[in-house]
Structure 1
């Protein structure tokens, strides 16, 4: 008797569950996991638990490491005591014998931290940080991912206990309290209540920046619309323009107008003023009924629909394409597909802070493993999308010192009013991720790295980035926590074409929004021909000359050499409405 029939007849149960029952079981699992996700803020407790178990077991199996940590703790305690006695002997004036904060750590930069007893307090904190970093790293047998998770978690817990976070141990707060007679705490309470009201009501306070009034005001029209995008064509401002039009593909994780902020910060306005015909994709902000939008929908209804519309409107045979962040990843997929299928309408491509290899995606990988993705899938399955607060929360945790504790210090303890700029206003205008697309993105790109390894399929066939033959301009930003510049630099390894790589100061957003005249900006740039030998990113970084000021003119010169002759501006497409359109206003 067949095993299936034996199981069915002898045990009285079907050998395999009915598909409908199986789906019902999976749905029950998803409901449970989504509930856990709501309670934990979208963080998988299983992922955290596995990381800490891996760490603690291997630490217990490493007596030499334990001895090393005990000796280090004893030495640090001795150094701390010596530091304190040294201060006492020199009337509170510390010599250069303490631990220096990391360059990006601005918590103890105020001179008042050098006064006793605050210098003793922050030195003890920095030594404790050093010890915990040693305790959570370089333990034989611990997986790299689990090591990163435990190290990150320890750092987050320590940052909560930093002496800068408490009035009694922060000299800046104490001095402000004395100076203002305690009014800083009153003002801080008002700020906290206003933030609480915004969180409860979901309505942000009035800001001086509004889309269509002070932001995204470069003149233009929506000339094409489908169920996923609006395509904006900007009005020319020069008597002649380059023959090749430019298409911007922003990430749908953000509103497009980061590229068209206030007029003085607008890359779109800058490019239009240099004689380019500029088009912009504005993505729809998906709701629950858009749950089944796929990555391929974003390619077809987004990039390809825009290219078709631009060629039809302008009569141009080719288009320059610019992808930002996830938009650059999508552009790379589209470009490889076009190359595979013999579509030659792409003249060149530019990637702003974009990755095509996700093996080393930076600290975002802390939230990406099988357990974490499964939990996110359940949350998205229940809602039909990944909520914008979920995304914002992850980014805030990654930069907790800047976005959580520093803000808490300034607004709640010092009672200062936050000065909002256009980039900050854009940052609060968040978007959602549809269930199917974000699942495919996390699994196919982050977890399995299919695009870089030639296993990503479009229309049932794999695509290869090495098929791309058009010149590439890739921009990395020095302090990027979303798309680390060394990861973006891998475009050299994965394509077989001329690559110009530019590394600019700043982070993922502020590094890109870098108009001419912006203070304290610098960049490095170099071009690698497709037949040239590979240069390691560290060697490139060390040997490439640095330039002051904005990188925009450098990129525009590169574009000008590849955008054809100057011609009369093409006709504007039929206007469906004025820019910035309707999709960008969706909440």
Structure 2
């Protein structure tokens, strides 16, 4: 009898897997690309400048924070990470708490944006967006909400245009690009270490060849940072959820966001990698935009700094470094559990991030 038990177990497991795959096949056959919708929260186009677009989100609740909030994501990836799906969306959560939320969307840069610099993104595109938001709402100052590289852009803007910024909210934003050396977690800072190891001439050759940092190149870099996760997500993670439509859609939306990685404009990429990652100019006071030094001490707006405690891409130490450097005395930190992306899309973090931001803004409105 005992010799037959494994055979019965194997047969049962095979039948269970067959049923699961049949159900999965029916699910997948009915899913179209338009069903895997990311960034679907309703919004209205207000302004277009080159490929950059300014949107205003439609309200989902009575407005409780009067000062408009402009969201800026980075150039490495798309803003849709903050609006992945209805139940995992920082955008929807903030709208539900009564914010007047706006978005600057960088579009899909390619070789035609080869010569754009961070100067252009901060002093032209963000500035034009801020001016338009002020004109549309009747406010003379607004709040900036920056995510990752977008947080660096908004920090620079707040330092160069303090009269236009009422509040500054940063999430997973690097400030001191060398602070990972003091991070107690050894798995934090691999991206910083790798970038510092690059030869500047090789960075220049890469950008000159492609006209920027190809999105596929950056995707491979991030995949190599978590190699086992990258290798197993299709033959383990996907199999586990393939017969559950809700979980499968979660998986597909995340994959769609990961695949939608535009090229990073060339000259801006050189500044990002060489001036900031390698030379750490934002902290040592030598980073200049449009001929003006970016002095963090000039930032006078109340500032909220949110970072993820297990962020292996932007280590917490790199974000926390802002505190002693900033000019305002109204400075607040919110450390949250989770990783770089998990802070926005994890079911565990839903509500905590948006509630912390909304309450902080309401107290200063």
Instruction: Quickly name the TM-score band, shorter chain normalised.
Output: 0.7 to 0.9
CA contact (8 A) 1:229 1:301 kept: no
Following TM superposition, by how much is the alpha carbon of 1:223 offset from its aligned partner in structure 2, in angstroms?
Answer: 0.4
Following TM superposition, by how much is the alpha carbon of 1:555 offset from its aligned partner in structure 2, in angstroms?
Answer: 2.0
Alignment correspondent of 2:236:
410
Following TM superposition, by how much is the alpha carbon of 1:464 offset from its aligned partner in structure 2, in angstroms?
Answer: 0.9
Change (3 A) 1:462 1:422: same
Structure having greater relative contact order (Cα 8 Å, sep ≥ 6): 2
Which structure 2 residues correspond to residues 359-374 of structure 1 after superposition, within 5 A? Answer: 359-361=178-180, 362-369=189-196, 371-374=198-201
Change (3 A) 1:206 1:442: farther
Alignment correspondent of 1:394:
221
Alignment correspondent of 1:322:
145
Structure 2 CA distance for aligned equivalents of residues 477 and 439 of structure 1: 26
Q: 2:335 aligns with which of 461, 482, 503?
A: 503
Structure 1 CA distance for aligned equivalents of residues 35 and 310 of structure 2: 31
Alignment correspondent of 1:275:
98
Structure 2 CA distance for aligned equivalents of residues 318 and 283 of structure 1: 22
Unpaired segments of 5 or more residues in structure 1?
1-174, 188-204, 523-548, 564-587
Alignment correspondent of 2:204:
377
Q: Deviations over 1:29-83 (max 9, x none)?
A: xxxxxxxxxxxxxxxxxxxxxxxxxxxxxxxxxxxxxxxxxxxxxxxxxxxxxxx
Instruction: Compare 309-318 and 257-266 and name the one that shifted more.
Output: 257-266
Alignment correspondent of 1:425:
256
Alignment correspondent of 1:532:
none
Change (3 A) 1:408 1:459: closer
Unpaired segments of 5 or more residues in structure 2?
1-8, 22-27, 181-188
Change (3 A) 1:369 1:273: closer
Alignment correspondent of 2:172:
353
The alignment partner of 1:316 has SS state of coil
The alignment partner of 1:451 has SS state of helix
Change (3 A) 1:227 1:505: same
CA contact (8 A) 2:70 2:143 kept: yes
Change (3 A) 1:348 1:391: same
CA contact (8 A) 2:36 2:252 kept: no
Q: 1:553 aligns with which of 350, 355, 359?
A: 355
Structure 1 CA distance for aligned equivalents of residues 90 and 59 of structure 2: 14
Structure 1 CA distance for aligned equivalents of residues 200 and 135 of structure 2: 41
Structure whose alpha-carbon radius of gyration is higher: 1
Q: CA RMSD for the aligned pairs?
A: 2.9
Structure 2 CA distance for aligned equivalents of residues 324 and 496 of structure 1: 21
Change (3 A) 1:236 1:381: same
Following TM superposition, by how much is the alpha carbon of 1:393 offset from its aligned partner in structure 2, in angstroms?
Answer: 0.6
* Structure with greater strand percent: 2
Structure 2 CA distance for aligned equivalents of residues 327 and 227 of structure 1: 18
Following TM superposition, by how much is the alpha carbon of 1:350 offset from its aligned partner in structure 2, in angstroms?
Answer: 0.5
The alignment partner of 1:247 has SS state of strand
Q: Deviations over 1:526-585 (max 9, x none)?
A: xxxxxxxxxxxxxxxxxxxxxxx723212211111122xxxxxxxxxxxxxxxxxxxxxx
Alignment correspondent of 1:471:
302
Alignment correspondent of 1:311:
134
Alignment correspondent of 2:185:
none
Structure 1 CA distance for aligned equivalents of residues 258 and 353 of structure 2: 22
The alignment partner of 1:551 has SS state of helix
CA contact (8 A) 1:218 1:260 kept: yes
The alignment partner of 1:236 has SS state of coil
How many residues are matched? 334
Change (3 A) 1:206 1:473: farther
Structure 2 CA distance for aligned equivalents of residues 481 and 504 of structure 1: 14
The alignment partner of 1:323 has SS state of strand
Change (3 A) 1:415 1:210: closer
Following TM superposition, by how much is the alpha carbon of 1:257 offset from its aligned partner in structure 2, in angstroms?
Answer: 1.5
Q: Normalising by structure 2, what TM-score?
A: 0.82
Q: 2:56 aligns with which of 233, 240, 243?
A: 233
CA contact (8 A) 1:335 1:468 kept: yes
Q: 2:65 aligns with which of 239, 242, 264?
A: 242
In the alignment, structure 1 residue 251 sits paired with structure 2 residue 82: no
Structure 2 CA distance for aligned equivalents of residues 176 and 389 of structure 1: 41
CA contact (8 A) 1:243 1:316 kept: no
Q: Deviations over 1:65-122 (max 9, x none)?
A: xxxxxxxxxxxxxxxxxxxxxxxxxxxxxxxxxxxxxxxxxxxxxxxxxxxxxxxxxx
